[in-house]
């Protein structure tokens, strides 16, 4: 998937992946896509909840080699 910015949140624990995602989204303009890579297993549910609450659609969640990859679209 194409993306405009990538955030490496590997090795970070709750709530840092979410806080850094929020900050990274601030730098994007509407419609742009952010890729987030995290290792915190709690981030799977948290990223979905974050997307629902903030209205930035979560385009996909995949697991790859003990990492979780999220694609979020800035609303």
Residues that bind another protein (CB under 8 A): 11-16, 18-19, 21-22, 39-40, 50, 53-54
User: From the candidates 6, 11, 14, 23, which is the catalytic residue?
Assistant: 14
Provide DSSP, 9-63: ETT--TTHHHHHHHHHHHTS-TT-EEEEEE--TTHHHHHHHHHHHHT--EEEEEE
Catalytic residue flag (residue 26): no
Looking at the Cβ atoms of 2 and 45, the one nearer to another protein is: 45
Rounded to the nearest whole angstrom, what is the least distance from the CB of residue 11 to another protein in the complex? 5
Residues marked active site are found at 14
């Amino acid at each position: 998937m194409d993306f405009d910015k990538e955030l490496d949140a590997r090795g970070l624990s709750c709530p840092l992946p979410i806080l850094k995602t929020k900050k990274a989204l601030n730098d994007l303009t509407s419609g742009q896509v952010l890729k987030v890579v995290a290792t915190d297993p709690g981030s799977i549910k948290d990223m979905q909840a974050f997307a629902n609450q903030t209205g930035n659609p979560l385009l996909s969640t995949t697991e790859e080699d003990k990492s979780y990859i999220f694609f979020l679209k800035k609303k």
